[in-house]
Amino acid sequence: MTFERMSSNDVLSLNLLSLQKSKSMSSIFFTTIQTHLIWEDKAANLAAFEKKISAIEGPKGIVVLPEMFSTGFSMQPEKLAEKMSGETVHWMKRVARDQRIILTGSVIIEDEGQYFNRLIWMMPDGNCGYYDKRHRFAFAGEDLHYAAGNNRLITSVNGWKINLQICYDLRFPVWARQQSEKNETFTPEYDILVYVANWPERRSHAWKTLLCARAIENQCYVVGVNRVGEDGHGIYHSGDSMIIDPMGEVLYHMAHEEDVFTIQLDRSHLNEVRTKLPFLKDADSFLLRSE
């Protein structure tokens, strides 16, 4: 298993050669899993996810799980953290291989003496990339228990570029903004923006509004996957997982219920929006720096 840290302006190329042999580069499949998480019970959560993934019929492509999918949004990394060689990453490697999918979601990881809320991007060949959550949710004390990431992760799958982020990152548009140096043409950094989350129902309006905003302002598809049910602190999550097109139109939305949903995203629609409405070329020029 190999890992790679990327600068904020680099692209991690993780091309999947055999995932969709019969599919053209004009489309890509995503499967979202919105589910209840059993509080701090890794074995039960992993077993439940494996059962759901195995039951998916038809193309799976990229399967997206919520934030901290093996434990729930816990502030006990000392108790729950694993190494990258640990049980959950090994489980992701096995499931991705056996199901011939890309599997992604965030888990609690200990790395060089620090704890991270880390999104893993696991390929079926066992290679993976990762993204450490940049914006920690201080309102819940996440900043007291977890270190912040400094680098974005943009992956490449069959010609699609995918920007991977976690929950609270959604409130900070600069971190997701398509960036470039000033020139007459504009080549977007990415085509799809993914958020994995444990976002509570009491702020669901912000979640739904900001997901649509990120799609419109970046002229990209947005995939937001949240959990449902109460966590270990009695906080209720309504899910409200969504998939949104580059015009801000909602292609999928599910609230309050567990749901497994597969969608095929179309490249021609994305290209048409960007060609007919070339707003990105008028954007302010800027580049993010790693700290």
Active site residues: 67, 133, 167
> Which residues touch 60 (CB under 8 Å, ≥6 apart)?
29, 31, 53, 99, 100, 101, 262
Between CA 195 and CA 213 the distance in angstroms is 13
Measured distance CA(198)–CA(69) in Å, rounded: 9
